[in-house]
Structure 1
Amino acid sequence: MNKIFEIPLYAYERSPDQDAPAPVRHPVVVIGAGPIGLAAAIDLAQDDVPVVVLDDNDKVSFGSRAICFAKRPLEILDRLGCGHEMVEKGVKWDVGKVFFDTRKVFEFNLLPEDGHEFPAFINLQQYYFEEYLVNRVRQLQDAGKPIEIRGQNRVEAIGTHDDHVKLEVATPEDSYTLEADWLIACDGAGSPTRRMLGLDFVGRVFEDNFLIADVVMEADFPTERWFWFDPPFNRGQSALLHKQPDGVWRIDLQLGWDIDKEEEKKPENVIPRLKAMLGEDVEFELEWVSIYTFQCRRMEKFRHGRVIFAGDAAHQVSPFGARGANSGVQDTDNLVWKLKLVIEGKAPETLLESYDTERIHGADENILNSTRSTDFITPKSEMSRILRDAVLDLAEEHDFARPLVNSGRLSVPCTYDGSPLNTADALEDGPARTRPGAPCPDAPLVDGFLLPKLAGKFTLLTIDADAPDHFEESGIEVTRLALSVKDDKSLALKQRYLGVAPSAVYLIRPDQHVAARRESWNENIFRTAVRRATGQE
């Protein structure tokens, strides 16, 4: 059994701040050294923004927890320095199968097209993810970047002011006070930060619970996502099976609403359920067990003055569709470049309002899809169940019914339609997938892949179009990446960025989302687009 979650990775050390005569102020403090907090801190430090991470723990999370990581977050994590490491360790998959009773009713492929550097999904235990992020922090520290993790530093009180946030922090030795120009709260679904500020979620708690068990076993199941409706081993309920590294398998079993959670987690109750599914002869060992109650909720606002919430601290969704950690990584990807520009004085503080606008849009999209999945998985009436079962029966033979089957619409990147940072689309009949607000899809180039060339900066992407190699607008530097479809052997660049147009010019944000596009370069329009994308217009 893997014991990585028992090893302190950022053990408590006394900080000079504890002995300072007055509270020390830091540009950014992050609360929470989970995946989302560490991703935010790494992103800031890579751009030389000093950041301190506070966590009441000193090690990675217990149990595998989040395990499914989608292509878009992996592309973001590649920019943060650990995407390839995760893929190398993780179990890659793109095929899912849906069963009704004992019958396979259909299967699907999440990445049917070629020309992407990263797979549709990997399965990887959260403790590995956190370990890789901590290792990346150490690499940045060795390179002299301004990042620090303080283990066993528990925030006990927060005071908000117009120009800073004051924190009371408890340690194994004593308590001390520090200040932050900006505070990013990534302290999970039960966020103490949210509670201390008197804030709460709005949304639904569904009347259903799932047993989540990670078991170590030798099994010959394929590397696919298997989902059952009404299986013989869990009648009237549903089940899910995923493969993880190190011979660990994730099993989710629906239990219903009126249960004793503590009783259901006991091995003497868990093991018979698993044997009913796997067979009496299969040998396995329990690594981690938990009970999950469906929740689809979010804060009304993610930004509260100088305090900004991200990840589960800001929103919660049911686990089907892998939207928790994946959406949290996209939160930080959206936030950090904006916060950096504000800190540097290159953008007004009002730019941060677009974090609320865009990521609440993303959260609402995730909540809508998770709610629909939950309603399909757990019908609320007998008529709903009859309809659901009829759809499953039809899906076995008829293509039209398969899109109606909802075993968890899997995480896809959010397109920020209607964002105030977008410039109106001016590429006539351009591909819908690369309209303003959309995340850039990857494409193979003669010297690698497209997305790494667009990372962390404003880029003017030109395809068979003339434009300046570099320009600056209102303190924002924009660098050109010139490409041609003449080198596009796979046609991916043409299909994903040109469509029927003979040429195109794109303004790409640091988070690889499209800010503007048109067929050719127009200086006034693109300078205006830069100002608009940075909240100056």
Structure 2
Amino acid sequence: MNKIFETPIYAYKHSPDQDASTPVRHKVIVVGAGPVGLAAAIDLAQQGVEVLVLDDNDKVSFGSRAICFAKRPLDILDRLGCGQPMVDKGVLWNQGKVFFDDREVYGFDLLPEKGHRRPAFINLQQYYFEEYLVNRVRELEAEGAPIEIRGRNKVSAVGTHPEHVVLEVDTPDGSYNIEADWVIACDGANSPMRRMMGLDFVGRVFEDNFLIADVIMDADFPTERWFWFDPPFNRGQSALLHKQPDNVWRIDLQLGWDIDKEREKRPENVIPRLKEMLGDEVEFELEWVSIYTFQCRRMEQFRHGRVVFAGDSAHQVSPFGARGANSGIQDTDNLCWKLKLVMDGKAPEALLDSYDTERVHGADENILNSTRSTDFITPKSEVSRLIRDAVLDLAEHYEFARPLVNSGRLSVPCTYDGSPLNSADALGGPARTRPGSACPDAPLGDAFLLSKLGDGFTLMTIDADAPDEIEEDGIVVKRLALSVKDDPTYELKRRYLGDNDSAVYLIRPDQHVAARRPGFDDNQFRHAIRRATGKE
């Protein structure tokens, strides 16, 4: 068993807040030190916002849990200063295979184009992810950033007020009260914060269960995502195989609905299933076993006054498609720059309502894709199964049928179409970089585009003139001047210009496009800045 599960990495320490005669007020309190909560805290601390993280645990999560991290979250983590350790440790992959019965139906490539710094996906156990995020917190602390983690500080009650939030916190030394201007609830799918505030999910729970087994073994399977429909070793069901670091392999086996979950998790029942899949001659050791039920649900709204929900506490999707943690990281990426502007008085509080609008849109997109995946993976009638199997048969021989196969549409960046922060598109350029979209990377000589955008508002000009800096109502926008000549591969032109000769983009701090035009017009871009900050 990996000892990392047993080692406290933010051990309990008595805080002066516990001895204060009146509750101490903090700027932002993040509840939950999982990947989403830690990402939010790092983002805020890097912007100089005082942030406190409370968690009822003091160590990384037990078991690998989330393992697939997509390119978009990796790009975000680069901005947070902790992307490289993840990529260095993770298993990089772009390709996968789909099997039906005992035959390979087809393979796919998730990143067929060149000119990206990061791969389509890495596989990395969640406990490593959390460890690297905590390491980044420690780096920020050493640099004097206003960030702190308190382990074994369990929030047991919450009181909301127009101007602040009060939390009651239980510790080994007893309970104490603490206040915050803002609270970000990242306390997981069973969120105590959500329950204490009397809030709930809406959506579907599917009548199916999957066994997750993390297995330590030496195996010569390639570094790909393998998915089986109706395999010989799990008849009438499905299975998934993924490689992780340290010779750990993730195996998912569909079990059906009417099962005894505790019984199915016992080693004496898990090991025979795995031997049937891997063969009797393969030696392996169980690292972690769990059973999950497909759920596609979310809160009706993510912001409730001065408490904002993010990650699994706000929404749940089935694991196929890697949309859980990846979506949660995009939640905080969307939220933190807006919260910073509101706290600084540079944007109205209504800007936070756009977090709700945009990330509910993202959650609905994930739920739609996950629901479709679940319906394809687990057909609920014989007719549905016959249609599903016919599609798989056709996909083996005909390319047109392959997009119809749905073994989990894998996570892609969310585009905020219809967001109130978007300005009208006056360029008519590539659809992938329209207002609301996340900026795709592009090579720029010995560097990449996303590393040059930073974490503020950027006016990106491509073969167009513009001022080096604009200030509009307290918002400073700096210019990044580029030319297609900077990229001999012409990926910059393909991704941002299309058939146009020039372009000017207003890019938000979360590296989403707010506006684009063929050239610079001072009034138009000032209007776009005001719109992107919730002032129009």
TM-score w.r.t. the length of structure 2 is: 1.00
**Corresponding position of 1:294:** 294
* C-alpha separation in 1, matches of 2:478 and 2:272: 60
**Corresponding position of 2:437:** 438
* C-alpha separation in 2, matches of 1:447 and 1:147: 34
* C-alpha separation in 1, matches of 2:17 and 2:502: 55
**Corresponding position of 2:377:** 377
What pairs up with 1:413-432 in 2 under 5 angstroms? 413-428=413-428, 430-432=429-431
Residue 4, structure 1, aligned to residue 4, structure 2? yes
**Corresponding position of 2:519:** 520
**Corresponding position of 1:110:** 110
What pairs up with 1:104-503 in 2 under 5 angstroms? 104-428=104-428, 430-503=429-502
Q: Deviations over 1:318-368 (max 9, x none)?
A: 000000000000000000000000000000000000000000000000000
Opposite residue 496 of structure 1, the aligned amino acid is: R
Pairwise CA distance, 1:510:
0.2
Pairwise CA distance, 1:446:
1.9
Pairwise CA distance, 1:452:
1.2
Q: Deviations over 1:429-479 (max 9, x none)?
A: x00000000000000002400001113100000000000000100100000
* C-alpha separation in 2, matches of 1:185 and 1:57: 15
SS at match of 1:182: strand
Residue 69, structure 1, aligned to residue 69, structure 2? yes
* C-alpha separation in 2, matches of 1:99 and 1:174: 55
SS at match of 1:414: coil
SS at match of 1:507: strand
SS at match of 1:442: coil
Task: Tell me the percent identity.
Answer: 80
Pairwise CA distance, 1:9:
0.2
Opposite residue 15 of structure 1, the aligned amino acid is: S
* C-alpha separation in 1, matches of 2:104 and 2:139: 47
* C-alpha separation in 2, matches of 1:408 and 1:174: 46
* C-alpha separation in 2, matches of 1:500 and 1:488: 16
SS at match of 2:27: strand
* C-alpha separation in 2, matches of 1:391 and 1:103: 14
| Structure 1 runs not aligned, ≥5 long | none
* C-alpha separation in 2, matches of 1:255 and 1:374: 14
Opposite residue 273 of structure 1, the aligned amino acid is: R
SS at match of 1:134: helix
Q: Deviations over 1:82-139 (max 9, x none)?
A: 1111001000000010000011011110000000000000000000000000000000
Pairwise CA distance, 1:164:
0.3
SS at match of 2:246: helix
* C-alpha separation in 2, matches of 1:316 and 1:398: 34
Opposite residue 438 of structure 2, the aligned amino acid is: P
SS at match of 2:389: helix
**Corresponding position of 1:511:** 510
Task: Name the count of aligned residue pairs.
Answer: 536
Pairwise CA distance, 1:205:
0.1
**RMSD, matched Cα:** 0.5
Opposite residue 256 of structure 1, the aligned amino acid is: G
**Corresponding position of 2:39:** 39
Pairwise CA distance, 1:21:
1.2
* C-alpha separation in 1, matches of 2:413 and 2:484: 26
* C-alpha separation in 2, matches of 1:236 and 1:346: 57
* C-alpha separation in 1, matches of 2:324 and 2:457: 28
Opposite residue 62 of structure 2, the aligned amino acid is: F
Ranges of 4+ aligned residues in structure 1 off by more than 2 Å: none
* C-alpha separation in 2, matches of 1:129 and 1:286: 21
* C-alpha separation in 2, matches of 1:255 and 1:151: 36
* C-alpha separation in 2, matches of 1:114 and 1:83: 20
Pairwise CA distance, 1:505:
0.1
* C-alpha separation in 2, matches of 1:485 and 1:210: 49
* C-alpha separation in 2, matches of 1:415 and 1:116: 19
* C-alpha separation in 1, matches of 2:75 and 2:84: 9
SS at match of 2:397: coil
| Structure 2 runs not aligned, ≥5 long | none
